[in-house]
């Protein structure tokens, strides 16, 4: 979500310190918002606080399982369950999809999580001599 919020209220001059530090925009009264002679004295000011709320969407990265001719299917399923927390049915579908199509998206994560999981999975396979590979790609 993003946007600009405006707050308007009145304070006495002595109470505020408009500066680069406070970021407050201060305008003297007299712009027509108050009836002449009412509500605000000469030393009062009208405050407008502009606050920009800018929330970045966290970027997500796909972990993609790649097929190869050597890694046993059962081992691929074990890795998908153990490292990527897929249940048995999901792991079987993902493994078979990669087997048949060449690749399959396992899941999406923030970048550091995606990279850590892919590295751990590749290393676990490598320790057993399997060439299993995962790619990490922006969503
Ligand atoms: N193709 C492998 C085999 O037939 C199994 C496999 C499936 C390997 C998916 C990797 O991502 C993979 N033993």
Q: Based on the fold, state whether residues 128 and 67 are members of the same structural domain.
A: yes
Positive or negative, the CA dihedral 9, 12, 16, 18 is positive
Q: Based on the fold, state whether residues 50 and 71 are members of the same structural domain.
A: no
Centre of ligand 1 to C-alpha 139, Å, is 24
Q: Based on the fold, state whether residues 36 and 92 are members of the same structural domain.
A: no
Q: Based on the fold, state whether residues 28 and 66 are members of the same structural domain.
A: no
Predicted confidence at residue 53, as pLDDT, reads 82
Q: Of 28, 54, 80, which marks where a domain is finished?
A: 54
Domain encompassing residue 79: 60-138
Residue 23, H or E segment: none
Q: Based on the fold, state whether residues 77 and 40 are members of the same structural domain.
A: no
Predicted confidence at residue 54, as pLDDT, reads 85
Q: Based on the fold, state whether residues 91 and 117 are members of the same structural domain.
A: yes
Centre of ligand 1 to C-alpha 20, Å, is 61
Predicted confidence at residue 111, as pLDDT, reads 98
- The CATH number of whichever domain residue 111 belongs to comes to 3.30.1390.10
Reported pTM: 0.66
Q: Based on the fold, state whether residues 48 and 88 are members of the same structural domain.
A: no
Q: Based on the fold, state whether residues 41 and 94 are members of the same structural domain.
A: no
Take atom 2 of ligand 1 and give the residue whose Cα is closest.
Answer: 69
Per-residue confidence of the chain (139 residues) as pLDDT tens digits?
334 343 333 333 333 344 444 444 434 434 444 455 545 566 666 666 677 888 888 899 999 999 999 999 999 999 999 999 999 999 999 999 999 999 999 999 999 999 999 999 999 999 999 999 999 999 9
- The CA distance from 113 to 132, in Å, is 19
**Ligand 1 nearest atom to the CA of residue 73, by list position:** 5
Predicted confidence at residue 18, as pLDDT, reads 43
Q: In the chain, how many H helices and how many E strands?
A: 3, 6
Centre of ligand 1 to C-alpha 113, Å, is 24
Give the neighbor-by-neighbor strand order of the sheet with 60-66: 103-110, 60-66, 133-138
Q: Based on the fold, state whether residues 43 and 79 are members of the same structural domain.
A: no
Q: Of 19, 37, 54, which marks where a domain is finished?
A: 54
Domains: count for the chain: 2
Q: Based on the fold, state whether residues 102 and 83 are members of the same structural domain.
A: yes
- The CA distance from 39 to 34, in Å, is 7
Ligand 1 is surrounded, with C-beta below 6 A, by: 65-69, 71-73, 76, 95, 98-99, 132
Burial (CB < 10 A; 0-12, 13-18, 19+), residue 130, is middle
Q: Based on the fold, state whether residues 50 and 64 are members of the same structural domain.
A: no
Strands (E), the chain: 2-12, 25-28, 44-54, 60-66, 103-110, 133-138
Q: How many CB atoms lie within 10 A of CB 121?
A: 22
Q: Based on the fold, state whether residues 74 and 107 are members of the same structural domain.
A: yes
């Amino acid at each position: 979500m993003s946007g600009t919020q405006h707050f308007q209220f009145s304070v006495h001059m002595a109470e505020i310190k408009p500066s680069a530090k406070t970021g407050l925009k201060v305008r003297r009264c007299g712009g027509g918002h108050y009836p002449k002679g009412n509500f605000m004295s000469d030393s009062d000011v009208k405050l407008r606080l502009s606050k920009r709320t800018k929330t970045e969407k966290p970027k997500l990265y796909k972990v993609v399982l790649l097929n190869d001719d050597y890694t046993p299917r059962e081992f691929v399923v074990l890795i998908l369950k153990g490292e990527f927390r897929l249940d048995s049915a999901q792991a079987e579908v993902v493994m078979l999809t990669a087997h048949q199509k060449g690749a399959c998206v396992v899941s999406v994560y923030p970048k550091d999580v995606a990279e850590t999981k892919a590295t751990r999975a590749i290393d676990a396979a490598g320790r057993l001599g399997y060439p299993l590979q995962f790619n990490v790609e922006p969503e």
